[in-house]
Amino acid sequence: MSLIRNTLGKIRNANVAKGEDIGLDRGAQQGRLRTINADGSYNIKRITGDTLNLELFHWLINTSWKHYWIAVFLFYGGVNVIFATIYLLIGVEFIYGIVPADGMNDFLHCFFFSNQTFTTVGYGGMHPVGLASSWVASLEAFVGLMSFALATGTLYGRFSKATGNLKYSKNALIAPFRDGISFQFMVANQKKSNLMELEVTSNFSWVDKSTEQPVRQFTPLKYDVSKIAMFPTSWTIVHAINEESPFYGMRLQDMIDAEIEVFILIKGFDESYSQTIYSRSSYTAKDFVFGGKFTRPFYVDESGMLVMDLTKVGNFEKVEIEKLLPSLN
């Protein structure tokens, strides 16, 4: 443990001297969850003080396609149900083309008339009669035009937005590397678009318990290869664990006790969108596998074609590394 304390102590002092700060809180409260989730989202709840703070446009741009279409269809159906109810209350006799019948049929006719008005289709079979129904139809047509303008804008925004859809290995490995060991994780591009000029930056974070009040410390990690020109398959990102590494001398339980979290930021250029994309993730000590080696997620088929199997990204086999570990004496 003295070796670990000395290594982390030297790193801490060096960072304090040069003012190392990556913009994350240094608090080390008991029971605190990880700062960045595996999907790259921040594990932070915001309290704005506003009674209503929907940020609807931001949500529609960034939510999943499933939730986006559910929201669009619910809005479309809900608005038409509201206006159909208003037309029904005014009276179906004020909509030309509807023959009054029982309540459900009358409502359905009002609903379909509302759909025509909302979308400004206007087949001509039904139209409003009288001031009340005409005013409501005018309002609905305006709401429809504005709604479709907003829906079109959010739909275009989703298609035009370049996103770093990288797949990260579920686990980070403490694996053999050259004559020693290393910290490794794997990434791959899940989209068909070509990515190039990828660059990784990363920070090692631990809870410093040597002070009266525990504080979370940060230090950058150096990788064997931190930048690649092309990214057609997968990339195993490797940090050599030597005397300059914050991992030096640590066993898995030491990493868990130090509440280690490694923050990762990858940026690259998306050829399809001609934009720079960013992707972030993190690994905590509970995600580490002590003694593993990644297997290749790609192979050459019978025709000679290189096949990239995204389902195998992050697969590994267990290996023995005890003989490669530095002495704790």
Q: Which pLDDT tens digit goes with each residue over 202-240?
A: 999 998 887 778 888 899 999 999 999 999 899 999 999
Residue 315 pLDDT exceeds 90: yes
- Under the banding of pLDDT at 50, 70 and 90, the label for residue 19 is very low
Looking at the structure, do residues 292 and 194 belong to the same domain, yes or no? yes
- Under the banding of pLDDT at 50, 70 and 90, the label for residue 83 is very high
Residue 329 pLDDT exceeds 50: no
What value does the mean pLDDT of the chain take? 85
Looking at the structure, do residues 190 and 316 belong to the same domain, yes or no? yes
Domain span at residue 97? 56-160
What's the token pair of residue 207?
């809870």
Tell me, what DSSP letter sits at residue 311? G
Residue 162 pLDDT exceeds 80: no
Q: Which of 138, 160, 182 is the last residue of a domain?
A: 160
Residue 105 pLDDT exceeds 80: yes
215 three-class SS: strand
- Under the banding of pLDDT at 50, 70 and 90, the label for residue 113 is very high
φ/ψ region of 210 (left if φ > 0, alpha if ψ in -120 to 50, else beta) reads alpha
- Under the banding of pLDDT at 50, 70 and 90, the label for residue 156 is confident
The Cα angle at residue 278 between residues 295 and 155, in degrees rounded to 5: 110
- Yes or no: say if 79 and 119 are a contact pair by the CB < 8 Å rule: no
How far separated are the first and last CA of the chain, in Å rounded?
Answer: 9
Q: Which of 142, 160, 178 is the last residue of a domain?
A: 160
Q: Using alpha carbons only, how large is the chain's radius of gyration in Å? A: 29
33 three-class SS: coil
Share of the chain above pLDDT 70, in %: 84
Residue 164 pLDDT exceeds 70: no
The domain that contains 85 carries what CATH number? 1.10.287.70
pLDDT value at residue 16? 47
- Yes or no: say if 200 and 262 are a contact pair by the CB < 8 Å rule: no
Residue 46 falls inside a structural domain: no
Which one, of 235, 158, 250, 172, lies nearest residue 198 by Cα? 235
Bigger pLDDT: 241 or 160?
A: 241
Looking at the structure, do residues 178 and 156 belong to the same domain, yes or no? no
Share of the chain above pLDDT 90, in %: 50
Least confident segment among 154-163, 175-184, 302-311:
154-163
pLDDT value at residue 17? 44
